[in-house]
A and B are shown apart, each in its own frame.
Chain A
Amino acid sequence: MKRAAVPLAVLAIIALLLAPLRLNGYAINLLYVTVLSIALAYGWNIISGYAGYFSFGQIAFFGVGAYATALIVVNLHWYWMAAALAGGVLALALAIPLGYVMLRLRGPFFAMGMFGMAQMVRVLVTAVPATGSGSGLFLPPGSGITEVYYWTLAICLGAIALTVWIDRSAFGLRLQALREDEQVAATLGVETTRAKITAFGLSALIPGLLGGGYALFLTYIEPDAVFSSRLDLQSIVMAILGGLGTVWGPLIGGLVMTQISEALWARFPQIYLMIFGGLLVVLLIALPRGIVPALAARFARRSGA
């Protein structure tokens, strides 16, 4: 099982790299959105899965990255990937003081506090005239979907690599310790504030970097499109469905969800939302810990018997 994983991963990456050469417009868009959602789910999984701070507002950093990129491209005429990188750095820079304040909250208070924070950032962006207010911003055309796709794929692979590292590192252990019991972790010498803020920063950097690509993908951005609570919640559900705080949870959850959602959308556009919501509820009752831990438990039982 373990031995097969490396060649399998290499094959998958090669296929993903070659995909734009073979696929038509619709398929490449679908692939882009899939990779984007999975990358967002990986970003969210660090602060919420490993550190246990459930955030409903990481999309704020995605929106900040998107707007920063759009403003830099429109006003300073940078190459968009450089602008998107700057957007990611800005998101990280904002996340550190914000995390310092917000991470004092816990449980549902943190979750909803972050939701409120994201809404506030959205409203503030809307209120600033430079962003075109609520009516949005047009980006110059020119960068195709292929470039955006490679950028997003690179970040997604980076996020997976980061998660693999976190899962094996002392930093990851510190996060899990504070997830299980913050006071005990602090007593044992974990610098909880520092660990939390680092995790929060990483969970802001990833959506911050992705936002720029999304702005280019849309070519026209407005607050509701980039501060999309639907995109946010979708990535959260992917991570939970796959398995909270696991390395492969966001990937498996993301693949399962995008497949289901695409199949349903094609067949039942009228009652799509209803089936989607119902399915989520059923899956959660059937697999409360997520797909990856459930599979792991099954394999463990089989090899034990």
Chain B
Amino acid sequence: MILLQLAINGVLLGGVLALSALGFNIVFGVMRVVNLAHGDFVVLAAVFAAFGFAQFGVNPLLLLPLTIVAGFAAGALIHHVLLRRLPGEVASAEASSLTLTFGLSYFLTGAGLAAFGGRFVSVPYLTGAFRVGEVSVPQARLLAFVVAVVLSLGFALLLRSTALGRAIRATSQNLDGALACGVDVDRVRTLAFAIGTAVATAAGTLMSFLYNLNAQQGVLFTVNAFAVVVIGGLGNYTGAVIGALILGLTESFASYFMGATLAEAAPYLLFILVLLFAPGGLRGRRAA
């Protein structure tokens, strides 16, 4: 029975991890940028939601559309003003995008601390649990899982059947080919970064009723997102969902069987093993 409970916890955690990783994956897929500020967008949205709930009693689900729009606008602005200006052909292009998003991460952490302080906060929302036999399903986690699945499906639909989705997929697969076919790559990148940020802030809003967070916890979500995406294959969207489930289950089982301290190492171990033995991810094509 305990195994079933652990599996359910793992799957529910995996759903949230999948949503958080989705934004990271879009940005990497389209732009080949490892966005080190990803987790900070997640955390900032979470802290903002907790602040809104504590001060004005706003339901975080009502805040969801607002944070998505704000995340989209912030992402578009950041890409248009900053990332676009990075030189593409310098040998250190990868280094400069890493450094830029690292600086951005510090900026967001600092802004979050200045605006909301360093206290760990969360939204005490849907704290109950459904009980089925001896297994309990926490309501907040279930809701986050469902919203995460809906948002992920929405994005899959966008990728599959719209012109923008085709342009995004084309740019991920072959930059020169996309350019040759007349895709406005600059616009696609701006939209991809904006969508990536919007997904991150949406995930963060849901995180606010799962975790106690302050503005400094961003790196945790960046690492988790990276691990999920590497396990699933960078730029591979179906793979990332599987990666998230694997990571969620690993965390859930490891923390029960190995204790909290060693369990912390489990995702990293999994992540490095996948990197070494299946560098294209479990489902992905071989990465360049």
Contact = CB atoms under 8 A, between A and B. Distances in A.
Contact of B269 (A54, A120, A180, A284): A120
Contacts, number: 132
Contacts of A273: 106-107, 109-110, 113
Interface in A261-295: 270-281, 284-285, 288-289
B85 interface: yes
A279 B91 CA distance: 23
A108 interface: yes
Interface string B253-283: 0000000011011001101100110010000
Interface in B227-250: 227, 230
A47 interface: no
A117 B275 CA distance: 11
Given A123-B265, A240-B96, A277-B106, A52 B91 contact: yes
Contact of A277 (B92, B96, B107): B107
A175 to B, nearest CB: 13
Contact of B230 (A109, A134, A272): A109
Nearest to B93: A288
Interface residues of A, number: 48
B72 to A, nearest CB: 20
Contacts of B28: 108
A48 B95 CA distance: 9
Interface residues of B, number: 44
Interface string B96-120: 1011101111111111011000000
A111 B261 contact: no
A121 B108 CA distance: 28
Contacts of A81: none
B276 A101 contact: yes
B92 A244 contact: yes
Interface string B51-73: 00000000000000000000000
6 contacts: A116-B268, A117-B268, A123-B261, A133-B261, A278-B103, A284-B103
